[in-house]
Structure 1
Amino acid sequence: MHQTPIRRRALPALLGMAAGGLDRAARAQGARGDVLNIGLATTPGSADPHFYNFQPNNNLALHVFSRLVERDARIRPIPGLALSWTPVGDTAWEFKLRPGVKWHDGRGFTADDVAFTLDRIPKVPNSPGSFAGFVRPITRVEVVDPLTIRLHTAGPHPVLPNDLTFVSIVSRHAGEGATTEDYNSGKAAIGTGPYRLVRFQPGSLVELARNDAYFGGAEPWSRVNLRVIPQAGPRAAALLSGDVDLIDAVSANDVQTLRRDPRVTVAETQSTRLIFLQMNFSTDGPLPDVTDNEGRPLPRNPFKDLRVRRALSLGLDREALVSRVMEGRGTPYGQWLPAGFYSNNPEIGVPPFDAEAGRRLLAEAGYPQGFRVTIHTPNDRFANDSRIAQAAAAMWTRMGVATTVDAQPYSAFSARASKAEYGVWLHSWASSTGEASYFLSNVVATVDAAKRMGVNNWSRYSDPRLDALTEKSFTLLDPAEREAVLRQAVKHVSDEVVIIPLFHLALAWGVRQGLRFEANMSDYTDAMDIRRD
């Protein structure tokens, strides 16, 4: 059983306002009164908390909605709408719910709302990255009484409480029959979180107002304005000018500048977010933007050949990427969990840099003269994303694989990448459950809608051996036995070069003098972790 006092921390601040959207008086007052203005790098695409498992969307949801189980700054589960959770035998978890919780419209929260939420998640249409994987093991929902719910699973599932930290609970009375657009308009966006959604304009503006009846205690900010400022330089300038009180995704260059300025401080932490390159495994035939040196499509998919994948990994100098592009703000790595986390495999080190060995492998695979590729990348998702792609492209080009870069806003990039319309792309993933199965079941498991596996597997990689290890890990209750199986799966991904890992991202936020922000490994920029000194 788990039971501790709730910690007040809400979710990330997200989307923003166009520069002219905040009146000058509000910007000047900022956090000097009880209004907080936050500048964010990436905009959320929806206020529907179940539409797309995308961090900016999750950030917005954290302000408005609550979860049965929350996470602290070190990714440890803590009570939320559930005060405690207890295994009942090997195939059920019982959650005792917090009494007296009210929805934003004043109606009472009950176990029936949880049942409605769990039923809704896999049914949300047109999701580019479903939340269905988090509720995959649940076979039956039993409402024991208004404040007790049991979640039944087909077999043991020890990480179910961790998975539920991603599941925002929505109300049946507001959500039944509601569409994603109803959430975006605010009609259905009735939560139990610390803030109410006042206005959501995709790509432009989010306005939040304090929920004075929040079960965790009323927040100090009566209003939170979330502005999107995609470029790092203007974002830092907005902080220094006082237009905003806090910014996220501070670039490596701007970290040094902000550290020297007495008007601001920098909050920093290591993250679980891995930056990596991904390849398209969806077909044996030609791929988009992958050609011979004359520009003709290759007759077969070169990434199906392990030698090619190993060659491309050998062609990347991860130390140089971190030291030169990131100015030291990252950690070169060969797997998605940092050292010290449960199920990290200590046998896997940083992949070596050996361009000459890479050329030999390419020749063995039938590409002695290399070929041409394009790395597709977002240019507004995380610090230096397009610069990382440019540097990787230069390294591959020097090895003999002529590489160009196509950089786009994340909204356009993700729409195509999620449909396997690219040959190669730069991607990232934060292992916010703090163990390996989250990545395994979502990013590299075979896409299987019935099993709700591979919901974020944009590469369409599929290997029954890896799937078997992943599924086996969900059935093991003994932590050591489960960790051994997960480490096997991590090694499989490394040996097969299913992804090309680069480094873990270091996170930085800029904070106006007079405020403090608790940096978190989940990379959330939440208003509830911003306080006056």
Structure 2
Amino acid sequence: MQAAAKSPRLSIRRFTTALVLTALLPTASAWAAELKLAYSSSATSMDPHFHNASQNIAVARNMFETLTQMDPDSRIVPDLAESWKKINDTTWEFKLRKAKFQDGSDFTAEDVAFSLARPGTIENSPSSFKIYTGSITKTEIIDPQTIRITTSTPYPLLPADLTSIFMVSKKASQGVTSDKFATPEHMIGTGPYQFVSYTPDDRVVMKRFDGFWGGKPAWDSVTIRFMPNDGARMTALLSGDVNAIENVPTPDIEKVKANPDLVYAAKKSHRLIFLFLDSGRESSPGVKADNGKNPLQDVRVRRAINMAIDRKAISERLMMGLAYPTNNLATDQMMGFDPTLETVPYNPEGAKKLLAEAGYPNGFALTLGTPNNRLLNDARVAQAIAQMLTRVNIKTDVDAVPFSAINTKGNKGEFSAVMMGWGVQTAEASSGIRMMVACPDKARGWGVVNWSNYCNPKLTEQLIALTSEMDDAKRNDMLKAAVHTVVDDMAIVPLYFQGMTWAAKKGIKIIPRMDERTSAFTFEPAP
């Protein structure tokens, strides 16, 4: 049984001037009652069950809670569930803590049953949360503080999956569509901060919830500003418009570290940066080859692309060391990690040889999509990759667009290749595989962001088997085998795990997290 627990870029001259001027500004103690936080990307929805995207999860985490959660080092700990145990191989029992919703009503097992069922009822989700609830076949309310959850097969990942399903009030949410959710009447959670207002692409405003079960929240009010532009975000911190930010622009990191009026923190995250390559369609819109075929269908071409990318150069020259090159799908703290995959290939001559063997001695043309406001240095990294591919005769152009447009284009199948990131949310390798690589399976919630159009029956068999294996050691070996299937076939091209950075005004303590979920919890007034 799980034990209870509490749970446009600045020029160098402008930036240097700002560093001098900031010494005249008040430190964080002047704002101890108010956290003004800048995110590097915008939330796409306030409905915590609509779009499984990290920025949405980060916003929701301030107001809503989950049954289980991951601590800053991604260990699963209790949240709204005080404890849980296995009744048998397919049934889990969760004991709920006594908590209040922000409208004063009690949080009960009925709200849990509703919250677990709701993701499966939401239509047109760009990335569904059903991947985390698809295994559930029944919920049984034992009493207001006890619920049993039954899965279709033995399913060891349930406590991990439940870190991603927010508990909402049945009374406040029932029958409410996602586009109508962003009002104080419906944004009712049990979290420490209560919804006040939402301005799309601008900000979310919250206030302290005095009835929070975990004690008095650290801040009286929290405002999250959406500032994808690096320069604007940094300027806002220096001027005092905000007192904390995420994703410090890499050219400014050393200056931030040297500024006595700022504090800085960094941590290796679970976010895997990778390439989708359209291997599943005979005709693909972003490739052009002399023979009229889609070269990406040939595994030799996909391996050539993998070999042509100098990950070390990207890490050192573009990412200030905040990129950790890998061929893995999991970090060394996660199940499914295989140390043999940490040696990444870089062999441009070998890449050319593979292309010739595949029938493309003169290469082909490719358009590489990328967000330009979501991942750390995303557009610059994509441009570097394009240059590397062009050197091996894959003549590559870059289509850099905002993250919201990436989702729209990707879900419509408009990419042949696109650089994306996936923040692994369950502390083991299979969540990303199920979401991004598995054959699409609506019933299970698998493959909902499979922009490579990849489908491998062998991988499906591996996933079905490992997600039913209750023995951790056996499942870890099975996860490694599934990771090798993905990597050997280059279903996606792993690039690196991204480092996450934060900065704040002096007087604020930063609590860095491996899962990148920046929220009010990330910052506290310093003692």
When the two chains are superposed, the root-mean-square deviation of aligned CA atoms in Å is 1.5
Give the Å deviation of 1:29.
Answer: 9.4
Alignment of 1:108-257 (within 5 A): 108-257=106-255
Q: Which residue does the alignment assign to 1:65?
A: 64
Q: What code does the residue aligned with 1:109 have?
A: F
Q: Distance in 2 between matches of 1:514 and 1:108?
A: 36
Which of 511, 516, 520 does residue 527 from structure 1 map onto? 520
The alignment partner of 1:64 has SS state of coil
Q: Which residue does the alignment assign to 1:2?
A: 2
CA contact (8 A) 2:288 2:294 kept: no
Alignment of 1:17-416 (within 5 A): 32-33=30-31, 34-99=33-98, 101-284=99-282, 286-292=283-289, 299-416=292-409
**Unaligned stretches of 5+ in structure 1?**
8-26
Q: Distance in 1 between matches of 2:53 and 2:47?
A: 11
CA contact (8 A) 1:376 1:426 kept: yes
Q: Distance in 1 between matches of 2:342 and 2:55?
A: 31
CA contact (8 A) 1:141 1:151 kept: yes
What is the TM-score of this pair, normalised by structure 1? Answer: 0.93
Q: Distance in 2 between matches of 1:242 and 1:165?
A: 34
1:180-234: per-residue Cα shift (whole Å, max 9, x none)?
0221234311111111111012111210111110111121311111111112222
The alignment partner of 1:313 has SS state of helix
CA contact (8 A) 2:437 2:450 kept: yes
Q: Which runs of 4+ in 1 moved over 3 A?
A: 27-31
Q: Distance in 1 between matches of 2:47 and 2:216?
A: 23
Q: Would you say how many aligned residue pairs link Structure 1 and Structure 2? A: 508
Give the Å deviation of 1:30.
Answer: 6.9
Q: Which moved more, 1:74-83 or 1:343-352?
A: 343-352
Q: What code does the residue aligned with 1:2 have?
A: Q
1:351-376: per-residue Cα shift (whole Å, max 9, x none)?
31111111111111111111111111
The alignment partner of 2:88 has SS state of coil
Identity of matched residues, %: 37
1:361-413: per-residue Cα shift (whole Å, max 9, x none)?
11111111111111111111021000000000000011101101111111111
Give the Å deviation of 1:152.
Answer: 0.4
Q: Distance in 2 between matches of 1:306 and 1:180?
A: 40
1:487 aligns with 2:468: no
Q: Distance in 2 between matches of 1:462 and 1:218?
A: 49
Q: Distance in 2 between matches of 1:185 and 1:387?
A: 38
Q: What code does the residue aligned with 1:86 have?
A: K
Q: Distance in 2 between matches of 1:371 and 1:416?
A: 22
Q: Distance in 1 between matches of 2:452 and 2:126?
A: 13
Q: Which moved more, 1:47-56 or 1:338-347?
A: 338-347
Q: Distance in 2 between matches of 1:482 and 1:135?
A: 20
1:442 aligns with 2:435: yes
Q: What code does the residue aligned with 2:6 have?
A: I
Q: Which residue does the alignment assign to 2:19?
A: none
Give the Å deviation of 1:237.
Answer: 2.0
Q: Distance in 2 between matches of 1:446 and 1:31?
A: 52
Q: Distance in 1 between matches of 2:143 and 2:465?
A: 33
Give the Å deviation of 1:457.
Answer: 2.0
CA contact (8 A) 2:28 2:506 kept: no
Q: Distance in 1 between matches of 2:185 and 2:45?
A: 13
Q: What code does the residue aligned with 1:258 have?
A: V
Q: What code does the residue aligned with 2:5 have?
A: P
The alignment partner of 1:278 has SS state of strand
Give the Å deviation of 1:31.
Answer: 5.8
Q: What code does the residue aligned with 1:289 have?
A: G
Q: Closer, same or farther in 2 for the Cα pair 1:312/1:482, shift >3 Å? A: same
1:271-298: per-residue Cα shift (whole Å, max 9, x none)?
11111111123422x21121137xxxx6
CA contact (8 A) 1:266 1:509 kept: yes
CA contact (8 A) 1:219 1:528 kept: no
Q: What code does the residue aligned with 2:251 have?
A: N
Q: Which residue does the alignment assign to 2:413?
A: 420
CA contact (8 A) 1:66 1:191 kept: yes
Which of 441, 461, 466 does residue 454 from structure 2 map onto? 461
The alignment partner of 2:47 has SS state of coil
1:101-159: per-residue Cα shift (whole Å, max 9, x none)?
11111111110011111111111111010000101111111111111000001221111
CA contact (8 A) 2:28 2:507 kept: no
Q: Distance in 1 between matches of 2:162 and 2:219?
A: 28
Q: What code does the residue aligned with 1:70 have?
A: Q
Q: Distance in 2 between matches of 1:169 and 1:467?
A: 30
The alignment partner of 1:466 has SS state of helix
Give the Å deviation of 1:346.
Answer: 2.2
CA contact (8 A) 2:511 2:523 kept: yes
Q: Which moved more, 1:335-344 or 1:489-498?
A: 335-344
1:482-507: per-residue Cα shift (whole Å, max 9, x none)?
11111100111111111111111111
Q: Closer, same or farther in 2 for the Cα pair 1:291/1:186, shift >3 Å? A: farther
Q: Distance in 1 between matches of 2:342 and 2:473?
A: 21
CA contact (8 A) 1:476 1:482 kept: yes
